[in-house]
Amino acid sequence: MWIIAIILLIACVYSKKMRKKVISFVLGICALCALLYFAFDHINTVIPILIVGFIVLIIVVLIADYIEKKNDKLAIEEWLKQNAPKIDIFYIEDSMQSFVQALYEEDTNTKFKYISDSIPYGRANCFLNYFNKTIDIEEPLYYSPIRSKDTIELREYGFLLTVGGIYIAKQLDKTDKDNNRIVKTFDLSLGGVWKVNMIGNSELVIKYSDMHRVNIKQEHTTVPLSIINKIITYAIDSKITLAILKNAVYENVNDDFDTEKILQEADENFEKMLKNNSVESNMSNVGMVASMPKNFQRFDEIGYRMNGRQGHGSAAEYAGDTLDKLSGKNSKIVGGDNKKDGVDRILNGINIQTKFCKTPRETVNHFLKGHDYHNSDGSMMVLEVPKDQYKEVVQILQEKIDNGEVPRVKKGEDARKYVYKSKFLYHQGNNIALAGSIEGITVDALSGVMCSATSGSITAILTFATQVWNGADPKEAAKSSIIVGAKVIGKSAAIYTITMQLSRSKIINPFKITHYVVDGKSIASKDIANRSIKNASKVYGGIDNPLYKVGDGLANKIKNSSVAKTSIGKKLNLKNIDGKRVVSGGVMVAISYGPDICRALVGRISPQQLFKNAAVTTAGVAGAAIGNSILPVVGGFIGGAVGGFVAKKTLDCFIEDDAVEMYEILREEFIDIVMMSGLNHKEFEEAVTIIFQNKKLPIILRDMYAYGESREYAREKIVNVAIINIFKKRRKITNDEIDKAYIDVAFEDVD
């Protein structure tokens, strides 16, 4: 008996029709049993009551259900016997219009409500597509759309009244096993409705002639059920529902292609684009921070020797080292320690001393007189000289060797083994030492690229992996990773270049020529008048760089501050900070935040978007910096990636991206226009591709925001332009073709 009772209980509880009755009954039985148990203190008294109660309930429910179905069948048979009047479609439309104003006034949807000519027919048509209907046969009378809770979904929900029925779509907060939101749809087509029952004010039951019924609750729509009840009741009483069922008004026609599927693909593409853009932006900033230690290492190698009296020689040494490294040679600057008679740089194991003087003889004399440039084994170092002085330097040094004037070198030895030809001319070495010169900027940029190459490569690999994990196509992920890697190298090289330029004490003065160089020899400006200046190179003077002093001044203040003496300051190594680190930090901030600040100032993004982008950037940069301090390079990438990701996900809950809002407006206008344009399947797909799969979509969405009237911009500047371009591709029909077609038809009829 217990088993039978349990089975009956399960069957009743899981039956939607009897659930409320069963629950009420069970609660009543339980209360009675509890009362009996406490009153008589014996469980055997309760069991028979429980079993009998269940059996009685099942019998009563089954009998009631049978009687209800039998009565409904008889009533439907009588209803179907009635003659269906021939009803004009305009009569139905005019009749339904009497309910539209009540819907507009009572509808609790305060954001979007459309009546009469204001209805966006394209969007209404798209809404109907989810019910396998089109506006060609379902003239919209009232539309109350609600945006999807999934902000990138190209679909609207809500309420739509047409001449053929009422259509409701409700997006629930619950999700299915695939983590997709559950959607409840209610197709209240008028055709075949023979009865409607209002249960209180919270539930409506619509019965159809095929014995199926639709139960809708007030929580499923923003429109009062009482108005829906009046509309359906009127349609039944005026025999509209019978006329539609018997095809006395029109036939249903379905769309000839799957609009939902095509638009869903556009949504998915936009979602991937947002993810990819987020990954690209965060990883480019992370990679930029990860490359900073390499920049600092290079700064320390070079020091500030280009600002000294012999700065052009140090500049040539720095430039030569850069080009040699880029060509695959093993080169290293070691002269930053300013050791007397020390090595300037080591090239493939050879100690090199760089000298750039005004004339070849001065270059040789400066190398030999007053110095003892020798290696640990006693041999002489190699002299690096300007490219345009090489031949004459070799001749002069050979003469001195042959005359026994060169210590540690035997007479007759070949001077060429002790001279290395620089890749730069004398005047180029001078210009490299000055900020603002083409030569200096070029060398700095190349050195910056060299320092950031490793970080750029790692960033590209991590970006590729992340995007593949996010579901991106490997080919597209590869393209994206290359772009991100290039951005890292570009940003890092820009920081390095700007820092090096601002750290030079002198700026090139194009209006001041100190002297000319002809065939490797310097000639004063006053003496050039008697010579041809066709082959003469100009050596420019410089003016003081005010920003150099600013960077150095800030660095000194930080080093001498009380913060630098604290434990945190010691961990941050503030006592060793210099002007280049201060300047590079400022440049990094400008490159990281500058573009978004400029966009906000000109109205291309909102203040909220600026705050969000800045917060995500800060989190990524901070995470990279912390990671770098724990585990160089790898730790920086991990910390930055995690920091940026967490910040983005957190802020998404509070601030919606401008791009998402603009995308929603664009898709609404797209649906409204395209669905009414008469495009065929191929043309419709082309329109989706042009607008929503455009690689420049992020820029287009920013243009929409900046325009002010974003909806107008979407309609006139984007969607209409795309449709017109598609129409232009259609084959033009000529008068000759028309005439020929009519002639063929005429002769065919004669035959």
String of DSSP letters for 642-688: HHHHHHHHHHHTT---HHHHHHHHHHHHHHHHHTTTT--HHHHHHHH
Higher pLDDT, 31 or 561: 561
What average pLDDT does this structure show over 538-543? Answer: 80
Taking the C-alpha atoms of residue 283 and residue 648, their distance in angstroms, rounded to an integer, is 13
H/E segment holding residue 173: strand 165-175
> Do 172 and 97 belong to one domain?
yes
> Do 185 and 142 belong to one domain?
yes
Amino acid at 61: V
> Do 103 and 53 belong to one domain?
no
The pairing of strands 506-518 and 537-544 is antiparallel
Establish if 431 belongs to a structural domain. Answer: yes
What average pLDDT does this structure show over 329-343? Answer: 76
> Do 94 and 41 belong to one domain?
no
Higher pLDDT, 339 or 490: 490
pLDDT value of position 194: 85
3-state secondary structure 576-628: HCCHHHHHHHHHHHHHHHHHHHHHHHCCCCCHHHHHHHHHHHHHHHHHHHHHH
Q: Global pTM?
A: 0.60
pLDDT value of position 1: 45
Higher pLDDT, 228 or 17: 228
Question: With pLDDT > 90 as the criterion, what percentage of the chain qualifies?
Answer: 10
Contacts of 417 (CB under 8 A, 6+ apart): 382
| Residues 203-223: tens digit of each pLDDT | 999 999 888 889 999 999 999
> Do 107 and 214 belong to one domain?
yes
Higher pLDDT, 187 or 684: 187
Establish if 365 belongs to a structural domain. Answer: yes
Establish if 314 belongs to a structural domain. Answer: yes
> Do 114 and 24 belong to one domain?
no
Contacts of 197 (CB under 8 A, 6+ apart): 204, 205, 207
| Residues 594-605: tens digit of each pLDDT | 777 777 777 777
Contact between residue 129 and residue 676 where contact means Cβ atoms under 8 Å apart: no
Residue where one domain finishes, among candidates 498, 515, 544: 544
Contacts of 273 (CB under 8 A, 6+ apart): 697, 698
Taking the C-alpha atoms of residue 471 and residue 577, their distance in angstroms, rounded to an integer, is 44
H/E segment holding residue 353: strand 350-354
Establish if 676 belongs to a structural domain. Answer: yes
Q: Where are the alpha helices (DSSP H) in 238-359?
A: 240-245, 259-290, 292-302, 311-326
pLDDT value of position 256: 52
Count of beta carbons in the 10 Å neighbourhood of residue 454: 16
At 721, list the tokens. 């332009």
pLDDT value of position 231: 92
Contacts of 260 (CB under 8 A, 6+ apart): 129, 130, 155
> Does residue 61 carry a pLDDT above 90?
no
> Out of 231-240, 275-284, 476-485, which region has the weakest mean confidence (pLDDT)?
275-284
Closest listed residue to residue 191, CA positions, set 143, 133, 136: 133
Please give the distance of CA 441 from its chain centroid, rounded to a whole number. 32
> Do 430 and 525 belong to one domain?
no
| Residues 688-731: tens digit of each pLDDT | 888 888 888 888 888 888 888 888 898 888 888 888 888 888 76
pLDDT value of position 640: 64
Q: At what angle do helices 259-290 and 121-129 cross, to 10 degrees?
A: 100
> Do 74 and 95 belong to one domain?
no
Establish if 685 belongs to a structural domain. Answer: yes
DSSP letter, residue 219: G
Query: Measuring CA to CA, how many Å separate 155 from each of 136, 171, 637?
Result: 20, 11, 38
Higher pLDDT, 157 or 599: 157
> Do 114 and 68 belong to one domain?
no
Count of beta carbons in the 10 Å neighbourhood of residue 742: 10
Contacts of 225 (CB under 8 A, 6+ apart): 198, 201, 202, 203, 204, 216, 217, 218
Establish if 735 belongs to a structural domain. Answer: no
Instruction: Report how many domains make up the chain.
Output: 5
pLDDT value of position 396: 92
- Out of 119-123, 552-556, 582-586, 737-741, the most confident range is 119-123
> Does residue 323 carry a pLDDT above 70?
yes
pLDDT value of position 2: 47
Contact between residue 319 and residue 434 where contact means Cβ atoms under 8 Å apart: no
Taking the C-alpha atoms of residue 332 and residue 390, their distance in angstroms, rounded to an integer, is 22
Establish if 538 belongs to a structural domain. Answer: yes
Establish if 734 belongs to a structural domain. Answer: no
| Residues 604-645: tens digit of each pLDDT | 777 777 777 777 777 766 666 666 666 666 666 666 666 666
Taking the C-alpha atoms of residue 105 and residue 103, their distance in angstroms, rounded to an integer, is 6
Taking the C-alpha atoms of residue 108 and residue 725, their distance in angstroms, rounded to an integer, is 40
The residue to which tokens 């559950």 are assigned = 182
What average pLDDT does this structure show over 654-672? Answer: 79
| Residues 92-134: tens digit of each pLDDT | 888 888 899 899 999 999 888 998 778 888 888 889 988 888 8
At 58, list the tokens. 């099942």
Higher pLDDT, 662 or 529: 662
pLDDT value of position 395: 93
pLDDT value of position 20: 56
Closest listed residue to residue 60, CA positions, set 21, 31, 90, 30: 21
The pairing of strands 419-421 and 382-385 is parallel
> Do 123 and 235 belong to one domain?
yes
Confidence of residue 520 (pLDDT cuts 50, 70, 90): low
Count of beta carbons in the 10 Å neighbourhood of residue 269: 18
Q: Across all residues in the chain, what is the average pLDDT?
A: 78
Q: Supply the range of the domain harboring residue 511.
A: 506-544
Residue where one domain finishes, among candidates 516, 544, 572: 544
Confidence of residue 655 (pLDDT cuts 50, 70, 90): low
Query: Is 513 exposed, middle or buried (CB count within 10 Å of its CB: 0-12, 13-18, 19+)?
Result: middle
pLDDT value of position 39: 55
Contacts of 402 (CB under 8 A, 6+ apart): 411, 412
Residue where one domain finishes, among candidates 544, 574, 608: 544
> Out of 50-59, 261-270, 409-418, 442-451, which region has the weakest mean confidence (pLDDT)?
50-59
**Phi, psi (degrees; rounded to nearest 5) at 737:** -65, -40
pLDDT value of position 21: 56
The pairing of strands 165-175 and 156-162 is antiparallel
**Does residue 729 sit in helix, strand or coil?**
coil
Closest listed residue to residue 555, CA positions, set 594, 506, 507, 502: 502
Taking the C-alpha atoms of residue 506 and residue 727, their distance in angstroms, rounded to an integer, is 61
Confidence of residue 257 (pLDDT cuts 50, 70, 90): low
**Does residue 427 sit in helix, strand or coil?**
helix
> Do 36 and 118 belong to one domain?
no
Contact between residue 404 and residue 279 where contact means Cβ atoms under 8 Å apart: no
pLDDT value of position 55: 67
Closest listed residue to residue 520, CA positions, set 430, 405, 342, 390: 390
Confidence of residue 255 (pLDDT cuts 50, 70, 90): very low
Query: Is 640 exposed, middle or buried (CB count within 10 Å of its CB: 0-12, 13-18, 19+)?
Result: buried
> Do 96 and 76 belong to one domain?
no
pLDDT value of position 56: 62
pLDDT value of position 16: 47
Query: Measuring CA to CA, how many Å separate 749 from each of 142, 205, 641, 746?
Result: 48, 57, 75, 5
| Residues 386-403: tens digit of each pLDDT | 988 999 999 999 998 998
Contact between residue 243 and residue 86 where contact means Cβ atoms under 8 Å apart: yes
